[in-house]
Amino acid sequence: MAKTDTAVKEKEGEAADDSKKQAQSVELTEATEGQATGPGGSIDILLDMNIPVTVSIGQTEISVKRLLQLGSGSVLKLDKPIDEPVDLYLKDTKFATGSVVVVDGWFAVKINQILGTGPQKADVT
């Protein structure tokens, strides 16, 4: 029982120490919108960055049984007709639609429309 009394007193002592701690005020400087935040304050460094773009020509769902049956020469029918535009993504965000073309023997995408949060941009055809 003495052990329990000691533990309770220790807990009470810790609680008393916690109640003695006080918050300190901090003065923060006012930042204005558009104010430079670092050396030079320029975003020019971002203009040279590479950003991965993903092109989606369609999708499908199959059972695990069908998945295990796939082999060389298997064909998966996708959910888009061939004349429908493909979707372009930055990460998980769709930002444009386009058409698949071939340039110098390589697949390429011709941008048809840039999507935005405001009014839609004019189609480029």
Domains of the chain by range and CATH? Answer: 53-125 (2.30.330.10)
Q: Nearest to residue 125, comparing CAs of 95, 97, 89, 88?
A: 97
Q: Is 45 helix (H, G, I), strand (E, B) or coil?
A: helix
pLDDT tens digit sequence for 69-108: 999 999 999 999 999 999 999 999 999 999 999 999 999 9
Q: Which helix (H) or strand (E) holds 83?
A: none
Whether pTM > 0.85 for this model: the answer is no
